[in-house]
Amino acid sequence: YNRGFFVSGHALGMVYRFGGGSLSRTYSEGFLVGAGGSVGYCYELAPHWNLEAEVGLAGVWTRYDERYSAKQVRTADKSRVMVLPSRIGLSLAYVF
């Protein structure tokens, strides 16, 4: 039974295609990798029920192309390092 504060770590990986549609002519296509950490608090509601809240940040590195279409590249091989919020949660958990 977990009560009180907790700390956790996590890894991220993603292949993405973002943008385009009716709002923009261009879109970004690439991948990202990263790692992060989070802190939370667990509160015992009853002997088998816990309420947990968690927030976290991650550092990520991404490499991507900006494109007009599948064959037309606007800018190739751009990369960035960013710190992003990666976790936020409120959970009701049943403990066996």
pTM: 0.72
Reported as a pLDDT band with limits 50, 70 and 90, residue 76 is confident
Residue 20 has pLDDT above 60, yes or no: yes
Structural domain containing residue 83: 4-94
The DSSP call for residue 44 is E
- Report the domain count for the chain: 1
- Give the Cβ contact number of residue 48 at 10 Å: 11
Distance CA 15, CA 29 (A): 8
List, in order, residues 6 or more apart from 71 with CB less than 8 Å away: none
Q: Among residues 45, 33, 56, 38, which one has the least CA distance to residue 2?
A: 45
